[in-house]
């Protein structure tokens, strides 16, 4: 399949999915408005009323879910190269140039090489610190979330606020650390580029690359990355569909889901 055909398929699929999504949104809002404005003094969002109004759009909703899943499959099966060619980042350029560093000699060569290794150590230390912070935050958050005593109350708002006080700071700290590490790596790459270019200008035989079985295995996985991603997406989609079907069969759709939706509309949002 040519690149032009792939672009056409993805273009028309995008238009179809956008229109389908708009139609589903209109249908959903129409059913909600019909329930609300035709209550006639009865409780607005009961399980029976909601099921009666939303069951007719269940089939098109399932088709919409299938169309969304088909979009993920389409992006993997029919990939295409963007027309615009972006300038590679400093990190990508540095990784390519480092493979061309030759074996050299002299005081200037070893001084540049030592400076390059220093930047690599700084980068490793920074990312190790970020990993430690993220792991610590994850462990603390999981311990808090899986401790039943923290949620043994009917004051749900207070419990959620207390959870936010304990979990969200770790989320923000981890995100800030990742951003800081990415900026640091970018700056180190920019500083390393002139050093690597000077080392390459020194000439000489290329520096022998150490064989690494782990990197070889990683490269093989990367070669099959699109099929691995596709398989993972299909597996998650199938698992989700199975759980939805099980929930419908055991009555969870009518008891748990609709009941919680009613409470959210009536108590949190204030509809009705």
- Euclidean distance between CA atoms 47 and 255, whole angstroms: 8
Encode burial over 220-235: b for 16+ CB neighbours within 10 A, e otherwise: eeeeeeeeeeeeeeee
DSSP 260: H
The model's pTM is 0.49
Residue 111 above 90 pLDDT? no
| 4-27 mean pLDDT | 86
pLDDT attached to residue 215: 46
Q: Tell me what the mean pLDDT of segment 26-38 comes to.
A: 83
Of residues 48 and 137, more confidence is placed in 137
How many other CB atoms sit within 10 Å of the CB of residue 130?
19
Using pLDDT thresholds of 50, 70 and 90, give the confidence band for residue 23. Answer: very high
Q: What is the pLDDT of residue 2?
A: 74
DSSP letter string, 51-77: HHHHGGGHHHHHHHHHHHHHHHHHHHH
Residue pLDDT, tens place only, 114-157:
888 888 899 999 999 999 999 999 999 989 888 888 877 777 77
pLDDT in tens, 156-200: 778 888 888 899 999 999 999 999 999 998 898 888 888 888 877
Dihedral sign (CA 180, 181, 185, 188)? positive
Q: What is the DSSP string of 243-257?
A: HHHHHHHTTHIIIII
Q: Which residue has the higher pLDDT, 257 or 136?
A: 136
Question: Is residue 217 scored above 80 in pLDDT?
Answer: no
Q: Is residue 207 pLDDT above 60, yes or no? A: no
Task: For residues 30-43, give the mean pLDDT.
Answer: 74
Q: Per-residue confidence at 211, pLDDT binned at 50, 70, 90?
A: very low
pLDDT in tens, 54-73: 888 888 888 988 888 888 88
Highest mean pLDDT pick, 6-20, 86-100, 152-166, 214-228: 6-20
pLDDT for position 44: 61
Please give the pLDDT value at position 55: 84
Average pLDDT, whole number, for the chain? 79
Choice among 84-88, 97-101, 256-260 with the minimum mean pLDDT: 84-88
Mean pLDDT of 233-246: 84
pLDDT confidence of 85, banded at 50, 70, 90?
A: low
At residue 169, the pLDDT reads 92
Res 113: pLDDT: 83
Distances from the Cα of 256 to the Cαs of 54, 149, 197, 260, in angstroms?
A: 16, 23, 64, 6
């Amino acid at each position: 399949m040519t690149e032009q055909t792939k672009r056409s398929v993805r273009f028309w699929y995008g238009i179809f999915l956008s229109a389908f999504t708009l139609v589903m949104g209109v249908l959903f809002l129409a059913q909600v408005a019909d329930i609300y404005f035709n209550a006639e003094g009865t409780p607005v969002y009961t399980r029976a009323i909601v099921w009666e109004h939303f069951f007719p759009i269940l089939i098109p909703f399932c088709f919409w879910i299938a169309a969304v899943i088909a979009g993920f499959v389409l992006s993997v099966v029919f990939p295409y190269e963007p027309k615009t060619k972006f300038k590679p980042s400093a990190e990508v350029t540095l990784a390519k140039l480092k493979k061309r560093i030759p074996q050299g000699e002299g005081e200037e060569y070893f001084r540049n090489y030592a400076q390059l290794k220093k930047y690599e150590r700084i980068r490793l230390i920074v990312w190790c610190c970020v990993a430690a912070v993220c792991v610590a935050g994850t462990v603390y958050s999981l311990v808090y979330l899986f401790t039943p005593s923290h949620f043994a109350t009917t004051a749900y708002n207070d419990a959620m606020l207390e959870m936010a006080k304990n979990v969200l700071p770790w989320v923000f700290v981890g995100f800030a650390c990742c951003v800081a590490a990415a900026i640091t790596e970018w700056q180190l790459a920019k500083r390393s580029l002139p050093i690597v270019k000077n080392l390459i200008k020194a000439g000489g035989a290329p520096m022998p690359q150490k064989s690494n079985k782990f990197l070889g295995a990683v490269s093989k996985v990367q070669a099959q990355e699109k099929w691995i991603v596709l398989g993972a997406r299909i597996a998650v989609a199938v698992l989700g569909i199975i759980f939805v079907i099980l929930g419908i069969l055991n009555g969870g759709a009518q008891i748990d889901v609709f009941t919680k939706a009613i409470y959210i509309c009536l108590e949190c949002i204030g509809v009705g």
